[in-house]
Amino acid sequence: MFIQRRMIMNCLAPIKLAGVTRVDCARRDRRNIPPRSRALAQSFGHGFLFNVQWNLHNSYLHFKTMNSLRTVIGHFFVCFFPLALLFAAKVNAATLTDQTGRTVLVPDNPQRIVSLMPSLTEMVFELGQGKKVVAVTQFSKRPAAVRKLPRVGSYTNLSLERIIAMRPDLCLALRDGTPKAIVDRLEELKIPVYAFNPTSLEDIMDAVTRLGALVHASARATELVDMMHKQLQEVDTRVSLFAHRPRVFFQIDGGSIVSAGPKSFIGRLITRAGGVNLARGDRLYPRYSWEEVLAMQPEVVIISSMSGGYSDEQLKAHWQRWPQLPAIRNNRIFVVDADLFDRPTVRSFDCLEKLVDIFLKQTHDPYENSNELLSKSE
């Protein structure tokens, strides 16, 4: 029986979907039957042969139709599925106002975050959502997990191509750090950029709350904010007992005498900790000469080298040339970790407490190692 079926298949003319004449089953035209088919027809009857060929043709049409349907569905999936994802992302997005007052269409629960500032990277990890960060900037060092992540340039020299290559669904920026040209270009490419502007300790708490809502970590954000509130209350209580507020000069770069103005984050940190910031004016980071510094007579000098490359001894040596300064005479000169003081993060509240310890001269021996006093392990 198998041989007979094989013979039938061999004797049937090839069938195509269009452009080729097939056996006319209605007319039973014997002239269209191949010679070998006639012998089979005599054995099985013409009706059987033509029914077999007609059924095979229908089966072939069904097979080709199903293949064509699969092809169409495949093409539809390839062409329209990305659009469907985009539509779904838009549907599951919310229009929010960031900390700078900008309106941003932010996806619900973003999964591919590119952090454009080290401080914001720290915040995401503090919230326990570090797994959502796919790229960071060059000088992101904390926590240790970020050291394995791809870099998209430094925060002042970002690579737009690298950012786009990471396929982010959300970028995190800082108003006074991230170049506006990069933010504008990302917006043109429909990549949402949520910007922060933490210029005070209260702003940091607000930033943590906002970021917690963005990454679905509001519970953890509430815990952190409660902890920061408690630290602030303790600091305010200690500062209220100050009998004297020391005059403080904060040098933010070891290569030149640049300080932190009263409107800068560091300047506000000094004031909140009970010190008198000697930097004046509207400029965030004013520059001074040694003559001006000598006239200020600072009682405490704090040095933070942003550029790095200097040892603690080298940084102090520049100041120790002026023994007439109260800070030098009383050995009240401290070198601090730039990452701790220059970046507004949750750890800034620890820095605040350390500043209070410095300003309360009776709290610590003035000859105590300043690095142990001010550095905080990861």
287-310 residues labelled b (16+ CB within 10 A) or e (exposed):
ebeeeebeebebbbbbbbbeeeeb
Dump pLDDT digits (tens) for 351-378.
999 999 999 864 444 434 444 444 443 4
Dump pLDDT digits (tens) for 254-265.
778 999 999 889
CATH topology of domain 244-374: Rossmann fold (3.40.50)
Q: Give the start-to-end residue ranges of the domains of the chain.
A: 2-80, 93-224, 244-374
pLDDT over 80 at 14, yes or no: no
Dump pLDDT digits (tens) for 170-199.
999 998 888 889 999 999 999 999 999 998
Strand positions, DSSP E, 53-132: 93-97, 103-107, 113-115
Query: DSSP label at 147?
Result: G
Record the tokens describing residue 243, joined without a space: 């009998």
Q: Answer yes or no: same fold for 93-224 and 244-374.
A: yes
pLDDT, average across residues 238-253: 90
Quote the pLDDT of residue 179: 87
Dump pLDDT digits (tens) for 286-320.
999 999 999 999 999 999 876 566 788 888 888 99
CATH topology of domain 93-224: Rossmann fold (3.40.50)
Residue 96 sits at φ, ψ, to 5 deg, of -120, 160
pLDDT over 60 at 168, yes or no: yes
pLDDT, average across residues 75-84: 43
Quote the pLDDT of residue 360: 83
pLDDT over 80 at 267, yes or no: yes
pLDDT over 70 at 94, yes or no: yes
pLDDT over 70 at 121, yes or no: yes
Collapsed DSSP state (helix, strand, coil) of residue 241: coil
Instruction: Tell me the average pLDDT of the chain.
Output: 77
pLDDT over 90 at 324, yes or no: yes
What is the spatial distance between Cα 371 and Cα 337, in angstroms, rounded to a whole number? 8
